[in-house]
Amino acid sequence: MDILNYTEEHRIFRDSLRRFLEKEIIPHVEEWEEAGIVPKEAWKKMGKQGFLAMGVAEKYGGLGADFLYSVIVTEEMARTNHSGLAAPLHSDIVVPYIESFASEEQKQRYLPGCVSGDIITAVAMTEPNAGSDLAGIKTTALEKGDEIILNGQKTFISNAINSDLVVLAARDPNTQDPHRAVDLFLVEAGTPGFEKGKQIKKIGWHSQDTGELYFNDCHIPAANRLGEKGSGFLKMMQKLQQERLVCAIMAVAGAEYMLELTIKYCKERTAFGRPISKFQHTQFEIVEMATEVRLGRTFVDKLIADHMEKKDIVVDVSMAKYWTTEMAFRVADRAMQLFGGYGYCEEYPIARLWRDSRVARIFAGTNEIMKVIASRFMGL
């Protein structure tokens, strides 16, 4: 019996999405990888077909769909072998902050655009000297009358260049408690004092427009704060469960895709007069990889079911995020070895998969931090 209960509607949605990706996205991936960014028009095509922010309520233009639709998009996007059109980040990590904490006026203003792809979102937490330590951020939010004045710098921000709306984490310089000092704010691109810096050149994720954001006496309405003053750190903690679950889903789906490609290659590639899949060493490598992938799938599917039942699985998703991303890179590395010299060539997809899978052990909280979180909850 499967852990997750996909309906016929889910299957139809997956088939429709896969056809769309094969027609509208995959043929352009190489071009986008070279350009280092995905054109906004591609986001709008995704939105027009109903593949963005599916969980948003119908009154804001969404489908009001369950989380399994998000799982499907995350899995199918992994098979496109590129990172630039970061739909899971937009739909399931950033937009939920607006859904959960924004005012009704803000929801009506922003959510329809998030669904249509006219508004691309980013979340700005990481700073040059504050990554996993969210309580240590230095960007300030000084309240003055009915305005907030923002000053600071954010780095390693996905969707930085394309972003139209940023969920920004900043601290009140007059509050000493580092956890009570943090708030989240909505900041629109084009706001005076908000500047987008250079795009960061990375080892992988070439089509992802990761960049720096600068705030220099940037004035925004105080109403742009999400929720009550001093509640930002708690809000981030509430949403990190889903963020890290999405990371684990991406890792498992990516590993499944790598395994599929590797098996196909090993059946076609010959050496010493027979397919290399017939050599015992190759068979053992593939079986070991397949076992790890299957374990990861079972673990993650159970967490998806628990998450949909609104269970508190902070410890479990921390474990899953660290283990699945480590597993995915192990699979990538072993797969590349089986591809041999060809695997190190850009024309073979495993090269990008190997390169792109590495960063998952760093973002959304490093894997070391995941172990710290789990150990604290275990009373260690």
Catalytic residue list: 243
Q: Strand ranges (DSSP E) for the chain? A: 121-124, 140-144, 147-157, 165-171, 182-188, 194-199, 211-221, 270-271, 274-275
Q: How many CB atoms lie within 10 A of CB 372?
A: 15
Q: How far apart are CA 45 and CA 93, in angstroms?
A: 20
Q: How far apart are CA 242 and CA 377, in angstroms?
A: 18
CA dist list (Å): 109 to 102, 167, 189, 192, 345: 10, 15, 14, 20, 46
Where on the phi/psi map is residue 64: left (φ > 0), alpha (ψ -120 to 50), or beta?
left
Q: Which value, in Å, is the radius of gyration of the alpha carbons in the chain? A: 21
Residue 149, SS3 per DSSP: strand
CA dist list (Å): 9 to 16, 215, 318: 11, 44, 31
Q: How far apart are CA 283 and CA 286, in angstroms?
A: 5
* C-beta separation of 232 from 184 below 8 A: yes
Q: How far apart are CA 317 and CA 306, in angstroms?
A: 10
Q: How far apart are CA 117 and CA 96, in angstroms?
A: 15
Q: Report residue 129 as tokens.
A: 């000297």
DSSP 201: P
Element (H, E) at 246: helix 232-268
* C-beta separation of 75 from 17 below 8 A: no
